[in-house]
Amino acid sequence: MEARQNIRNLDLDQLKSSLKEMGEKAFRAKQIYEWLWKKNAARFEEMTNLSQSLREQLDSNFYIDHIELKDQQISTDKTIKCAFNIEEGKVIEGVLIPTSSRTTACISSQVGCSLACKFCATGKLKLMRNLSAGEMVDQVAYLRDQAENRYGRPLTNIVYMGMGEPLLNYANMLRSTELISSPDGLGMSPKRITVSTAGIAKMIKRLGDDEVKFNLALSLHAANDEKRSKIMEINDSNNLDSLSEALQYFYQKTGTRVTFEYIIFKDFNDELEDAQELATFAKCVPCKVNIIEYNPIDDGEFQQASRSKVDAFAAYLESKNMIVNVRRSRGKDIDAACGQLANKNKAILKEDRMMK
């Protein structure tokens, strides 16, 4: 007997072909597709406008790789961190971040991460596997429902800034953005989506070739190669010159302004000299800069920069006519802030690995 196939790996045309082979009308594919992506059905039995016999046939031939909530924590600032079970008992995390002006879903693209950035809790884990497009869409759908049902407000933004490096899961990431923005899916504008990368030059160029409509953010954190390589191993193979070239290519192809993310660390990258280097590098493309308050993880290797240093850093960039936002931490009390994902689930993930 053949193993059941993940139905969410099929596009609409492939789904139509499969239904024809089962002796069903092709129009049923549209109904099923809507259940999978617009209504985010977890089981075939939920598809109530299909006959019982068709639902049973679908269940015999396919499965839905739907994630399940394992644990949920709510911060004093209303940030919600969710741990989700996926296949094989592994755990991923997604975060809902409500502020006065927006409600953002921060989602994961991989289980663990292979890049081992020194300031990131997820980087302490090994990469276990890529997430499917459906598993990424599920995170958005669940966090959207939390925003609407718990806080009575719509989801306004989606950021691929959770566990993993999205550009190392390129095909699934790209398909998930298409499903999130499709009228047959979640129907959100691609301009509400931001994909964040640690910096893989050839994949940034590929985004340009694919003329993506979503926003791109580069996790920069230092604008000279020596410092950046100390905290991000990926810089050894993707240095600042190669990233500058790739970003210029991306902008030429898409016309989309780039965001530079800059976590500011005490006594490492918080001096005006660092701000000067950042201002010089940022001239490569039209951009904005998000200065991000550092959130300590268990090893204590880095510390948070002082408020006065952060303010002086931002003021210097603004004096150079740059668009600057200072992102204050949210969800720190539940380890949901930037860089902290998996900080309290490391024991769970280690246990999962030991069981394999």
Q: Catalytic site residues?
A: 93, 338
Taking CA 93 as the corner, what is the angle to CA 80 and CA 44, rounded to the nearest 5 degrees? Answer: 100
- Residue of 171, 191, 170, 188 whose CA lies nearest to 179: 188
Cβ partners under 8 Å of residue 88, min gap 6: 129, 352, 356
Alpha helices in the chain (DSSP H): 12-21, 28-37, 52-61, 133-151, 170-181, 201-209, 225-231, 240-254, 272-281, 307-319, 346-355
- Residue of 319, 152, 315, 62 whose CA lies nearest to 47: 62
Q: Please tell me what DSSP assigns to residue 337.
A: S
**Number of Cβ within a 10 Å radius of residue 192:** 18
- Residue of 291, 292, 295, 293 whose CA lies nearest to 342: 295
Separation between Cα atoms, residue 240 and residue 218, nearest integer Å: 11
Q: Are 91 and 83 in contact (CB under 8 A)?
A: yes
Cα 129 to Cα 91, 111, 113, 114, 346, distances in angstroms: 11, 5, 9, 10, 16
Give 44-69 as a DSSP string: GGG-TTS-HHHHHHHHHHEE----EE
Separation between Cα atoms, residue 344 and residue 356, nearest integer Å: 21
